[in-house]
Structure 1
Amino acid sequence: MDLKEIQNLIKFVANSGVAEVKLEMDDVKITIRTTLEGNTPEITYMQQAPVSHALPQVATTQALVPVAAPVDENSKYITIKSPIIGTFYRKPSPDKPVFVEVGSTIGKGDVLCVIEAMKLFNEIESEVSGKIVKILVDDMSPVEFDQPLFLVDPS
């Protein structure tokens, strides 16, 4: 494996969102770990057996140019999260209209969606007043506990 192939592997891993990749070949062992804070990879390269055409033995932490974290334009919004695990539904039943759309004005206690868990349909009510800015989950999708469902502009 030459230096160009290793550099391409580092770039690929850094952009993929994978936390760790280990690659072992006949005489080479490479471990690439990325951090969440900027996807800066940490690389450990070990040559297990001396080979005349192999790269020199290196143990390094090589950083790709970190991309500046984008300013979170959603920081002014309130995120409504799922209180349970289940299946997310935007309508009370297939023949009824959706509870809310992007741009809908909601009040505290308004039903936003239904989450089915173990054959029980749980109405999810808003705990804030405001305007729906974004719906983060597709209809009839599985959701996890504490998964963001809606962004609400409280102003």
Structure 2
Amino acid sequence: MDLKEIQNLIKFVANSGVAEVKLEMDDVKITIRTTLEGNSTETTYVQQMPSQSPFQQALAPQPVAPVASAPVAAAEDSKYITIKSPIIGTFYRKPSPDKAMFVEVGTTIGKGDVLCVIEAMKLFNEIESEVSGKIVKILVDDMSPVEFDQPLFLVDPS
């Protein structure tokens, strides 16, 4: 339900003379209250319902806070190229559950090689390498949510 539909519903309830209307749909609850005595005070509550059941939420992967690395590790990582996520979605290292991983640590890659798949809105987007080199580190676990511009891989270009 979009904002325009909610506004039309509020106007309809205000003009109908009804004191209160409650509407529950799959993912939205709306309660509209009006006063009947000439006061045109309207109170609208819109509540977004969670899209997953509590059981699914408990099983969903939880983001892990990054651990601060030592300055030595940061100096070593500076010689590597970081490949970042171009979109928000779910990171997959394999094209399907029964297939092999796209890349492993130590894999030599070239420009255009598929490194992973990121699912966004039920679309599976192949993420291709823009550099040539060797995978040094995979920074994201399989089937984890990723943000835009989140580092995914470290590549040694030499």
- Larger helix share, 1 or 2: 2
Quote the Cα distance in structure 2 between the aligned partners of 1:98 and 1:69.
31
SS of the aligned residue for 1:132 comes to: strand
Output one character per residue of 1:124-155: Cα deviation in whole Å (capped at 9) or x when no partner.
Answer: 00000000000000000000000000000000
> Does 2:146 correspond to 1:147?
no
Question: In structure 2, how many angstroms separate the alpha carbons of the residues matched to 1:131 and 1:69?
Answer: 23
AA of the residue aligned to 1:133: V
2:90 equivalent to 1:81: no
- Root-mean-square deviation (Å): 1.3
2:134 to 131, 136, 139: 131
Q: Count how many residue pairs are aligned between Structure 1 and Structure 2.
A: 88
Task: List runs of 5+ in structure 2 lacking aligned partners.
Answer: 1-69
Alignment of 1:13-32 (within 5 A): none
Counterpart in 2 of 1:65?
none
Shift of 1:112: 0.1
Give 1:101's aligned residue.
104
Alignment identity in percent?
Answer: 91
* Superposed structure 1 runs of 4+ greater than 6 Å apart: none
Describe the superposition over 1:61-83 as per-residue Cα deviations: whole angstroms up to 9, x where unpaired: xxxxxxx9445210000000000
Q: Which amino acid aligns with 2:91?
A: F
Output the CA distance in 1 between the equivalents of 2:137 and 2:127.
16
Quote the Cα distance in structure 2 between the aligned partners of 1:150 and 1:86.
16
Counterpart CA distance in 2 for 1:130 and 1:72 is 19
**Structure 1 stretches lacking a partner, 5+ long:** 1-67
User: 1:9-56 CA deviation, whole Å, 9 max, x = no partner?
Assistant: xxxxxxxxxxxxxxxxxxxxxxxxxxxxxxxxxxxxxxxxxxxxxxxx
Q: 69, 72, 77: which one pairs with 2:75? A: 72
C-alpha distance 73-99 of structure 1, shift in aligned 2 (>3 A): same
